[in-house]
Amino acid sequence: MFQNMQVLDASIALAKNAGRRQAASAQNLANADTPGYKALRVSTFQASFDSASGQQIKTTRSQHTGRATPFAFQDQIINRTSADPNGNAVNLEEEMMEAAQAKSDHTKALSIIQSSLKILRLSLGKS
């Protein structure tokens, strides 16, 4: 039971992804007036999960168990045409929406982690 805690692993990965997305949005907002700045976007947890699913780590012994590869979150440069005369590609409305979605995902992940830990403590007889 304790060797295979996929819900907890996925929740931790979701929280890390949300943190990276929030940091990218903050960096984009901080550079909203920088001429020629290209907005940075971190792939969503769902996109990273879809790209990582199905991949297995190669096992060298029969005693080893294959485990899915860690979630691969990649930074992506957005190459969209800018309406700004200075070549800046930051859209304030999109960045605010992305920051709000990242906050929501982080809150969801922390709730799942707290619930999982509460269940583990209760199963061990500790409250």
Query: Residue 108: what residue type?
Result: K
Question: Measured in Å, how far apart are the chain's first and last C-alpha atoms?
Answer: 20
Task: Return the half-sphere exposure (C-beta side, CA atoms, 13 A cut-off) of residue 25.
Answer: 20
Contact 46, 14 (CB under 8 A): no
Alpha helices in 31-91, H assignment, sequence order = 45-52
Q: Where are the domains of the chain?
A: 6-123
pTM of the model: 0.74
* Best CA proximity match to 70, nearest among 25, 3, 16, 125: 16
Cβ 110 vs Cβ 15: under 8 Å: yes
Tens-digit pLDDT string for the chain (127 aa): 555 678 888 899 899 999 999 999 999 999 999 998 888 888 888 777 666 665 555 566 665 555 554 555 566 666 666 768 888 889 999 999 999 999 999 999 999 999 988 988 998 887 6
- What are residue 42's DSSP bridge partners? 75
